[in-house]
Structure 1
């Protein structure tokens, strides 16, 4: 008789992770690694290096789970930021620029590989980002999916830095409103 792996709500998963429950961490890896790996591999652009960065990202997640605050965002978003930043740091440490792709491709790959979706309304990121005005959508793409800094976006698009920051802030507010609808 095979043992059945536990299933968690997001709150239960976070609580178990904060208690250093190894089964919860295995569950986390099994259900999120595909999506996070796709983001990392797009940034790193080297399969072997992406696997190393993925392992490093999960170690960071494991070590810093106690700092996760559900009031500030969903677990997936928090982990996605850790994975993205770990990938960007790895590429920059090698003296290269992060890889760049279309936001549509990144979102489709993440959706195909995510097997844990806390709430369909909050995980339909593709359609939510598509609702943004084009001038905001491109900034979200460049900063959050391609790894550019706000300063680099300002230079590349010849837009004042203050405009970039305010458009991103507005885009994030719009996305937050879309999540709560």
Structure 2
């Protein structure tokens, strides 16, 4: 099934579409989510929420503004960031035992490798150092642009401009390769 066929099925709310959508994109979306949400079960919950959001908001996808894959990656990324920032999620983290902290540290390399599975990190490493640093903060660590501005000690407008330029550089690099 092609992506265009899938989009038609989703827009028509065909129940077969969700299975195809999940089979095509669940691994890469889970890798992105897992980069933010370290606990496997929590990440699975966010993945499920992501597919529900895709299903319910398909009418907001516009082909002229970008690729479908980019659109759903942004939904997954934003869902993971929303989960991290949620009050309930933060309250549960305050009650972790020391054993869980060791597990989280051990899990870090596995999660980092998940990002490498979809290859994004390798492409980012080929960008300019300032782009690598900015993309690391904004996309891999989930910083807001304001938080990145504070961390890098540069004006917010500069972060926005550099982010746009870096993403364009990455997009151009991906089109060539």
Q: If the TM-score is normalised by the length of the shorter chain, which range does it land in? A: 0.7 to 0.9
Structure 2: give runs of 5+ residues left out of the alignment.
91-103
Match of 1:133 in 2: 128
Match of 1:107 in 2: 115
Match of 1:171 in 2: 166
Match of 1:81 in 2: 74
Contact 2:35–2:115 (CA under 8 A) maintained in structure 1:
no
Q: Deviations over 1:1-48 (max 9, x none)?
A: xxxxxxx22222112211112212201101211111122122122222
Match of 1:24 in 2: 17
For the residue of structure 1 that corresponds to 2:57, the secondary structure is helix
The verdict on how the C-alpha distance between 1:140 and 1:75 changes in structure 2, with shifts beyond 3 A counting, is: same
Map 1:1-181 to 2 at 5 A.
Answer: 8-94=1-87, 96=90, 105=113, 107-109=115-117, 111=118, 125-181=120-176
Structure 1 Cα separation of the partners of residues 34 and 112 of structure 2: 15
What is the TM-score of this pair, normalised by structure 2? 0.78
Q: Which runs of 4+ in 1 moved over 2 A?
A: 101-107, 124-131, 175-181
What is the TM-score of this pair, normalised by structure 1? 0.77
Per the TM alignment, residue 79 of structure 1 is displaced from its structure 2 partner at its CA by 0.8
Per the TM alignment, residue 171 of structure 1 is displaced from its structure 2 partner at its CA by 0.8
Structure 1 Cα separation of the partners of residues 55 and 155 of structure 2: 38
Per the TM alignment, residue 137 of structure 1 is displaced from its structure 2 partner at its CA by 1.8
Structure 2 Cα separation of the partners of residues 47 and 127 of structure 1: 24
Structure 1: give runs of 5+ residues left out of the alignment.
1-7, 112-123
